Amino acid sequence: MPHSSTTTSCSVICLPYLAETKSLDLSEMHHIHLASTEEIQTRWAKISRQYYRTALVDDPENDFWLIYAYDDFRDEYLLLTVTGPDAHNRKEWGSFLRTMRNDIVEPWIVGKIRFPDLDDL
């Protein structure tokens, strides 16, 4: 369902179903909270600061993150995956995220692996 941009100042994308980007405790990896239902999109659309758009503590079934890596040197982003439900559950997702960091992000950051730009395909 398409949405128009909100009027807040955003560094990358500012849509009602995205929250502010936040760093993970894994270097070069970040996450963005995703609104997984229309009800959450409506609630988030009323919150002008993306920082406060997060899943409710008592609602793990609607807790989803978009995980991505950022290479500061090349100024490039690598979209990795969506985690959830219960994306804040590090017991469930921690090992998966650490493996992704070791197997994909680190080699990408140091230039051992490259992924084609979609515009080049």
CA distance 100 to 92: 14
Give the predicted TM-score (pTM) of the model: 0.76
Question: What's the gap between Cα 69 and its chain centre?
Answer: 9
pLDDT digits (tens, 9 = 90+) for 22-43: 677 788 999 888 888 889 888 8
CA distance 72 to 28: 8
| 69 pLDDT higher than 90 | yes
In this structure, the dihedral spanned by the alpha carbons of residues 110, 101, 78 and 76, taken in order and rounded to 10 degrees, is -40
Is 67 buried (19+), middle (13-18) or exposed (0-12) by CB count in 10 A?
Answer: buried
| 98 pLDDT higher than 50 | yes
Contacts of residue 105, defined as CB under 8 A and 6 or more positions apart, other chains included, come to 26, 28, 29, 69, 78, 80
